[in-house]
Structure 1
Amino acid sequence: MAALVVLLAGAGYGLLELAFFAERNQLLPWDGSDFALGALFALMHVAVAFVAWLLARLAVRIAPWLRRSFPRFAPIAVLVAIHGASFFRERYYGLPRDVTGTLATFAIVAAPLLLAWILARVFTDPARSGRVAVALASALVVWGVVRVATVESMGEKEAVLPRAASHRLEATDTGQRVFVLGFDGATWDVLDPLIAEGVMPNFATLIARGRTFDLETFRPTFSPVIWTSFATGKSRFRHGIHDVVQTRLPGGTWLHRSILRTAFFTKTTGVPFRWASSHRLLPLRPYRSGQVQATSVFEAASEAGLSTTRLEWYVSWPATPLSGVNVSDRFHLLDPQDPQLEGTVSPEALTSHLLPDIVPVSDVPLSRVLEFIDARGLDGDAVERWAEENAAFVEEMELNLARDLTTRNVTVDLLERDRDWRLFGTYFRAVDLTHHLTWSRRDKTGDPEQDPDVRFAPVIRRYYEFMDGVIGEVLAHVPEDAVVIMLSDHGFEDRFAHSRAPDGFAIAAGGAVVPSTERGRIGVYEIAPTVATLLGLPVAQDLDGKARRDLLDPAFDAAHPVREVSTWEREGRGDEGAGDASSVDDEELERLRALGYIQ
């Protein structure tokens, strides 16, 4: 009888865990591999139920007042307690874990254990208590079946039906063009003092003819998540990008999260899965463009016939067609002499034209990295010794300098190639990298020979100054009448980096944007609908933000009233693109490990 209770309780809990896991991790709709995962959950919790039974038997010997029937009910009580506590804690994930929450968790755990003790006192006859325990374990199975059959992903809004494939978006002629320039991680905390010193002239010029904002971001502050929200105007629950990587679980299910950072498990399941992930036993891979489940403003503008170009944007490989050019976030990884990775550029035929723009890592000399540090006293053999001692820093700086230089070259090349563009988006990576590598050392002073950390003090400042020069080169090719929107996905702060979602920065200038000296606030989800409004696109009603028409010239607002459409989504969106990129995936994963995003 005890064995049957353990088996039924473990199976029931496996179903509850599967439903909980699917709900919190947006795993729906179901497929066959998910149920293989459920079987694994069941086996794990049969073991947990067996351990609970053994411990209850031992407890009865130590404390006879628990009653001999207690071990029959203990496995069910323990599993219900685990599920209840996990459901409460993870359901309210992100809220302060205060005394009230702790007491509530304690009560949730204590209640089923207390009930098990009461049942053991009421049903003292072994046969009768066994039948009751089997009935309760069977009820746990029924509960699990019902949960699996009725579960819905948390965070999802009611789906809006996509437009028919024949219903194409149309844009009115507003006479505006929009240039979006992204700087990952840039913050006013660094920008403001440098602008005040006069060492950021291109930023200062742009601000003088526009307006500035604190960019209100959200958690988790993972770049693929936020940059996809910038582009789509939708939350991660609706565009489908939740993390920096995906994890392959036993049974073949690809979880669109990392186990260690954003995946939700109940307490018992989380321990072995997180252990396996920390020991690299579960395969990882970055996201791919076909997994973005929402239409971006770039795609909407392209569908409406506006010349649209985007480059190096997160989660853009394999590159999908736009009316202009789509340069994916893996283009910079190509070897100009042997470009083997497919899908880096759309149209593919343009790849050969852009290859000369690539700055290989091998073309970034150590002397270029030394320009960003305090190199006092470094000469001769001392340079090589320092580089060997700080090999990880040097490698990351070389990689990301090469990437940003490549992005600069391609941006200028494409701006010159198509002067009739209407929407152009480009993204630069390495500002955030310098924060991750040197933020805690940026205020160090003294002799670098005495304190090695002093060498890293100027890195952030000098990289911002370098990027101001890049801005000048890029904006020299952007027409004066274009709207320029420059922004970052988050800021940075001491101790917590960007985990607490510090504000990013944003600047809007030119065209129909009304200049202002007052710093305002703007949200991630407001960018896409505002860009759409400037371009004369209908704004989708299912976006998570509204267009900021208060920033625009009243004459423009009056001449171009709000146009809406139910959704930008359209029947026939493509599935994930093909392509073997395992070696490139491995390179990207190693970079994420170097920055601490994954282990």
Structure 2
Amino acid sequence: MKLRTGLLLLPLLLAALLLPAGCGGPAWDGPPILVFGMDGLEWSVLEPLMAAGRAPNFARLVERGVGGSLQTMIPTFSPVVWTTIATGAPPEEHGILNFGVWDPVKKEMGKPYTSNCRAVPAIWNLADDLGRSVLSVAWWVSWPAEAVEHGRIVASYAAQVQGRLLWKSGVWERGLPEHTWPPELREQILPALADGRDGGPLTEQFIARFGRIRPGPALKFRRHLAGLFHVAFRGDATHVRIMREQLERQVADLNLVYIGLPDVAGHFYWRYREPERFLHKPDPALVAELGGHIDRAYEQADAWLGEVLAAVPEETIVLVLSDHGMHAFNTETPESLEQGGLQSGGHEDAPDGVLIAAGPGVRRRGLLPAGERRLGGVLDVAPTLCDLLGIELPAAARGASLRRVLMTDEWCAAHPEPGRRDYRRGFRPPTPPREPYAGASQDFLEDLVKGLGYIDSVD
């Protein structure tokens, strides 16, 4: 009887052996992983806020683990670097080379890159391929949402006109096709999208944090900046809420979320935070009104971090990282020229970003000394995540796992170093950028103009 049972099972065993290698992997019983991407986060701003008790969630994470820096690359364009972070591949291999594809006829930036343009799998593809569950919210170049058997994706799309103004994802309250995977996930996020509309409850939160625009010098300029800043705030706040609500439903093995507010604040308001760094000093009235906006944006990022951390188990491995740092830029430019479009915070010289790690198995080293902070580079993030998930590293990845830098000797001994695997075999070929629907860029512009008035003074 035992022999007969074995013969009956033999075809099933053979069939299992013949399944494609990408159809699953060994069961995973490790801790969940949370990756919180924060664009443009900079230690010279964050460190004093932590010391002053104004960024308590960041401070607690660093105390539980390690705070260091992450080497970036040139160019420091957000879609390029965040795609490298998600793939472990350099731009010439993953195929996302700028914000959008260059139009040689019009001699201008064309449609923004979309997920179908990517030539290599992202970490959510790799994890899903080997049976790990995934949750990704608002990652750069993630629209259209890719089908993942074991995951949920809420995609982010930067429209052509939006890109020229801001290059942040905003909130698509009018509806975005292929916004989520699975498609029915969109029904769950509709309340958050509705609250993210212009003039909705998030506008009052923005005013509570950053104040209203008051009469005074450069009013038109201040309204313009505040309008764009408001769009970024609403987008981030909406995505953080979606992330928190999805985590409350189910924490995945790998959980990723992105916000862009620190980067936007740095670009717009650095002159007013550090007026002494600039040859042409800004109006003192503007310094008084705008000089605290970068710090307030970091305090807001800390609050959002706290919301997300409250929704994951204590044993979660947490990585907080930025694609680059930020510093004073265009320091010899007159303020009048800056108001014409130049930014006072920049990162063109590729300053290191932030990397914070905490959780089970992470070395408790605290905040590293300023000259000894570099823990790795953006090419190392995807290999490190693969290692933490117990799956093979991408063969195309140029970086390596940061296990020896981030994790304890005990963890390393208990987790054999993984090999490499060519995940590109069978991955769909890249195709040209797509647009969600005709007129998407115009829709964004109309929404932006409509939103400018909500943050003016009521006086």
> Which category of TM-score, normalised to the shorter sequence, fits these structures?
0.7 to 0.9
Distance 1:436 1:389, change over 3 A: closer
* TM-score normalised per structure 1: 0.60
- 1:320 is aligned to 146
- The answer to whether the Cα contact below 8 Å between 1:375 and 1:455 also exists between their aligned partners in 2 is no
1:558 match: secondary structure: helix
Q: Letter of the aligned partner of 1:313 in structure 2?
A: W
> Which aligned pairs between 1:473-552 and structure 2 lie closer than 5 A?
473-495=307-329, 497-517=346-366, 519=368, 520-521=373-374, 522-550=376-404, 551-552=406-407
- The answer to whether the Cα contact below 8 Å between 2:43 and 2:354 also exists between their aligned partners in 1 is yes
- Residue by residue over 1:547-579, the C-alpha shift from the partner in whole angstroms, topping out at 9 and shown as x without a partner, is 112121222222221222331213142654865
- Cα separation, 2, equivalents of 1:327 and 1:535: 21
Distance 1:541 1:366, change over 3 A: closer
- The answer to whether the Cα contact below 8 Å between 2:324 and 2:347 also exists between their aligned partners in 1 is yes
- 1:565 is aligned to 420
- The answer to whether the Cα contact below 8 Å between 2:119 and 2:430 also exists between their aligned partners in 1 is no
Distance 1:556 1:247, change over 3 A: same
- The answer to whether the Cα contact below 8 Å between 1:540 and 1:565 also exists between their aligned partners in 2 is yes
- Residue by residue over 1:495-532, the C-alpha shift from the partner in whole angstroms, topping out at 9 and shown as x without a partner, is 26100001110100002212113524221011111111
- 2:246 is aligned to 414
Distance 1:451 1:371, change over 3 A: same
- Residue by residue over 1:245-285, the C-alpha shift from the partner in whole angstroms, topping out at 9 and shown as x without a partner, is 112223xxxxxxxxxxxxxxxxxxxxxxxxx63xxxx4611
1:361 maps to 2:216? no
Q: 1:398 aligns with which of 203, 209, 230?
A: 230
Per the TM alignment, residue 443 of structure 1 is displaced from its structure 2 partner at its CA by: 3.0
- Cα separation, 2, equivalents of 1:226 and 1:196: 29
Q: 2:70 aligns with which of 215, 239, 257?
A: 215
Per the TM alignment, residue 233 of structure 1 is displaced from its structure 2 partner at its CA by: 0.5
Q: Letter of the aligned partner of 2:263 in structure 1?
A: D
Per the TM alignment, residue 393 of structure 1 is displaced from its structure 2 partner at its CA by: 1.3
Task: Flag the structure with larger Rg.
Answer: 1
Q: Letter of the aligned partner of 1:327 in structure 2?
A: V
- Please, what is the CA RMSD of the aligned residues? 2.9
- Residue by residue over 1:456-486, the C-alpha shift from the partner in whole angstroms, topping out at 9 and shown as x without a partner, is 1010011111221111111001111010000
> Which aligned pairs between 1:198-347 and structure 2 lie closer than 5 A?
198-250=53-105, 277=107, 282=108, 284-322=110-148, 323-330=150-157, 333-335=171-173, 338-339=174-175, 341-347=176-182
Q: Letter of the aligned partner of 2:224 in structure 1?
A: A
- Cα separation, 1, equivalents of 2:48 and 2:199: 34
- 1:443 is aligned to 274
- 2:3 is aligned to none
Q: Letter of the aligned partner of 1:318 in structure 2?
A: P
- The answer to whether the Cα contact below 8 Å between 1:342 and 1:579 also exists between their aligned partners in 2 is no
- Cα separation, 1, equivalents of 2:352 and 2:430: 34
Between 1:345-354 and 1:513-522, the stretch displaced more is: 513-522
- Residue by residue over 1:143-168, the C-alpha shift from the partner in whole angstroms, topping out at 9 and shown as x without a partner, is xxxxxxxxxxxxxxxxxxxxx99221
Per the TM alignment, residue 211 of structure 1 is displaced from its structure 2 partner at its CA by: 0.4
Q: 1:468 aligns with which of 298, 302, 307?
A: 302
Q: Letter of the aligned partner of 1:530 in structure 2?
A: T
- Cα separation, 2, equivalents of 1:366 and 1:547: 41
| Count of aligned pairs between the two proteins | 389
Distance 1:450 1:580, change over 3 A: closer
Distance 1:482 1:373, change over 3 A: closer
- The answer to whether the Cα contact below 8 Å between 2:88 and 2:396 also exists between their aligned partners in 1 is no
Per the TM alignment, residue 363 of structure 1 is displaced from its structure 2 partner at its CA by: 1.6
- 2:437 is aligned to 581
- 1:452 is aligned to 286
- 2:279 is aligned to none
1:544 match: secondary structure: coil
- Cα separation, 2, equivalents of 1:518 and 1:241: 33
2:44 match: secondary structure: helix
- The answer to whether the Cα contact below 8 Å between 1:441 and 1:456 also exists between their aligned partners in 2 is yes
Name structure 1 gaps, 5 residues minimum. 1-163, 251-275, 593-599
Distance 1:588 1:220, change over 3 A: farther
Larger strand proportion of the pair: 2
Q: Letter of the aligned partner of 2:75 in structure 1?
A: P
- The answer to whether the Cα contact below 8 Å between 1:374 and 1:457 also exists between their aligned partners in 2 is no
- The answer to whether the Cα contact below 8 Å between 1:247 and 1:284 also exists between their aligned partners in 2 is yes
Q: Letter of the aligned partner of 2:315 in structure 1?
A: D
- Residue by residue over 1:356-409, the C-alpha shift from the partner in whole angstroms, topping out at 9 and shown as x without a partner, is 012113326766555455779x4xxx49x9865522112112211110110111
- 1:40 is aligned to none
Q: Letter of the aligned partner of 2:239 in structure 1?
A: T
Per the TM alignment, residue 493 of structure 1 is displaced from its structure 2 partner at its CA by: 1.3
Between 1:349-358 and 1:359-368, the stretch displaced more is: 359-368
1:184 maps to 2:18? no
Distance 1:326 1:513, change over 3 A: same
- The answer to whether the Cα contact below 8 Å between 2:100 and 2:109 also exists between their aligned partners in 1 is no
Per the TM alignment, residue 238 of structure 1 is displaced from its structure 2 partner at its CA by: 0.5
Distance 1:500 1:579, change over 3 A: closer
- Cα separation, 2, equivalents of 1:248 and 1:461: 38
- Cα separation, 2, equivalents of 1:321 and 1:365: 31
Per the TM alignment, residue 540 of structure 1 is displaced from its structure 2 partner at its CA by: 2.4
1:431 maps to 2:274? no
Distance 1:558 1:587, change over 3 A: farther
> Which aligned pairs between 1:15-34 and structure 2 lie closer than 5 A?
none
- Residue by residue over 1:181-211, the C-alpha shift from the partner in whole angstroms, topping out at 9 and shown as x without a partner, is 0000010010001001111111111111010
- Cα separation, 2, equivalents of 1:365 and 1:409: 11
Name structure 2 gaps, 5 residues minimum. 1-17, 158-168, 277-281, 331-345, 449-459
- 1:194 is aligned to 49
Q: Letter of the aligned partner of 2:222 in structure 1?
A: N
- 1:273 is aligned to none
- 1:26 is aligned to none
Larger helix proportion of the pair: 1
Q: Letter of the aligned partner of 1:506 in structure 2?
A: L
Q: Letter of the aligned partner of 1:297 in structure 2?
A: I
- The answer to whether the Cα contact below 8 Å between 2:72 and 2:350 also exists between their aligned partners in 1 is yes
